[in-house]
Amino acid sequence: MELRQLRSFAALAEEQHFGRAAARLHIAQPALSQQIKQLERELGVALVDRTTRRVELTEAGRRLADHARTVLASADRASSDMALVASGHAGRVSAGFVGTSTYDLLPLAAREVRSELPDVQLDLHGELLSPALLAGLLDGTYDLVVLRPDGMQRRGVEVRTLRRESLVAVLPARHPLAGERSIDLARLAGEPFVMHFSGDRSSMHEHVLAACAAAGFRPTSVMEVGETATLVVFVAAGLGVALVPEPVRSLALRGVSYVALNGAPTVDLGLATRTGEGSPAVRRVAEIVARSAELRGGT
């Protein structure tokens, strides 16, 4: 039994006339009659009682008409869904975001994807570190990732810079400098610092150390944390000060103050996908993420 045969029979069942059904199907009447006879032979039952003026469905014909409507509707839905997938308007996309982009870019991009691509299932993963994001992209855990590129050149990965972000100081609300519009980073020399993990677990640690070195000092006391939210909470608890990219201001937390830095150093934010990414949905979501980063802006 073929879909072509079911479509022909469904048309005949609705029209109850071979001539009208054939015209609706844009085929010759004898061809339609042959299709119905072949279907009857395959099923071993009579589907219609033929008269000179009209066609009456048999009991078997009425039951097959119900099945045909269900099957054809399902086939049409499948065809439409495949068209959406082929155009990138449906599918599943897993996206990972570095911790410092979790609070502004992730929600903005997610809203835009839901608005423009309602049939795309978006799996979001935030508060991650750049090395873990890169590994997840390469092993297929993520389809696209937002991370700190830092001159990243890896085989099989395409990276584009989304924006450049200024570093700002995060101070406890009761810190003597918390009320300043901007400060020189050198004024934080001697303060305990809260930083992201060192080594190859995070890229921000080295950025902060480089910024402090350019300001003429090296933090004498450092507490390391894995998540940006935890870093800000520790500052609110008075355990130290921190430097974060400016968009982290979106993480509004009582007990901290974000203060601009004079001549602020900057860090890049990038979008990475696998080279030659073949999924139309991934490519569409990547474009939305890139556009959302432009809307949010950097420096």
pLDDT at 173: 95
CA 286 to CA 113: how far, in whole Å? 10
| Same domain, residue pair 171 and 248 | yes
On whether both 159 and 291 belong to a single domain, the answer is yes
Average pLDDT value for residue range 125-136: 88
How far is Cα 82 from Cα 198, in angstroms, rounded to an integer? 46
Residues contacting residue 106 through CB under 8 Å, at least 6 positions apart: 97, 124, 126, 146
Q: Are residues 61 and 96 in the same domain?
A: no
Per-residue pLDDT at 58: 87
Q: Is it the case that residue 180 has pLDDT exceeding 90?
A: yes
Q: CB-side exposure of 59: number of CA atoms within 13 Å? A: 0
> How many whole angstroms separate alpha carbon 172 and alpha carbon 124?
31
How far apart, in Å, are the Cα atoms of 92 and each of 76, 231, 294?
A: 21, 32, 24
Q: How many domains does the chain have?
A: 3
* Sign of the dihedral defined by the CA atoms of residues 219, 223, 224, 228, in that order: negative
Same domain, 138 and 229: no
Average pLDDT, the chain: 88
Do 27 and 172 lie in one domain? The reply is no
User: Looking at residue 201, what is its pLDDT?
Assistant: 77
The mean pLDDT value for 79-83 works out to 67
Q: What is the per-residue pLDDT for 236?
A: 96
User: Would the pLDDT of 297 be above 70?
Assistant: no
Among 29-43, 68-82, 217-231, the range of highest mean pLDDT: 217-231
Residue 34 sits in a domain of what CATH number? Answer: 1.10.10.10
Do residues 269 and 161 make contact, with C-beta atoms less than 8 angstroms apart?
A: yes
Instruction: Look up residue 170 and give its amino acid.
Output: V
Confidence band for 171, pLDDT divided at 50, 70 and 90: very high
CA distance 279 to 176: 52
Angle at 95 between CA 278 and CA 166, to 5 degrees: 115
Same domain, 139 and 150: yes
pLDDT at 132 (0 to 100): 87
pLDDT of residue 14: 86
Q: For residue 125, give its domain range.
A: 90-163+268-296
CATH code of 231's domain: 3.40.190.10
Answer whether residue 76 shows pLDDT above 80: no
pLDDT tens digits along 42-55: 888 888 887 656 78
Q: Which of 158, 127, 112 is nearest to 284 (CA)?
A: 112
- 8 A C-beta contact, residue 181 and residue 260: yes
Per-residue pLDDT of 205-261, as tens digits, reads: 999 999 999 999 999 999 999 889 999 999 999 999 999 999 999 888 899 999 999
What is the per-residue pLDDT across 6-27, written as a single tens digit (0 to 9) for each? 888 888 888 888 888 889 888 8
Q: Could you tell me if 79 and 192 lie in one domain? A: no
Q: Judge whether residue 267 has pLDDT over 60.
A: yes
Lowest mean pLDDT, pick from 5-19, 82-96, 181-195, 260-274: 82-96
Give the separation between CA 105 and CA 277, rounded to whole angstroms: 22
This prediction has a pTM of: 0.70
User: Could you tell me which residues come within 8 angstroms of residue 264 by beta carbon, excluding any fewer than 6 positions away?
Assistant: 166, 167, 168, 299
Cα–Cα distances in Å, from 39 out to 4, 89, 251? 11, 37, 66
The amino acid occupying position 281 is A
Average pLDDT over residues 110-131: 90
Q: Of 24, 52, 86, which residue is a domain's last?
A: 86
Q: What is the pLDDT of residue 1?
A: 74
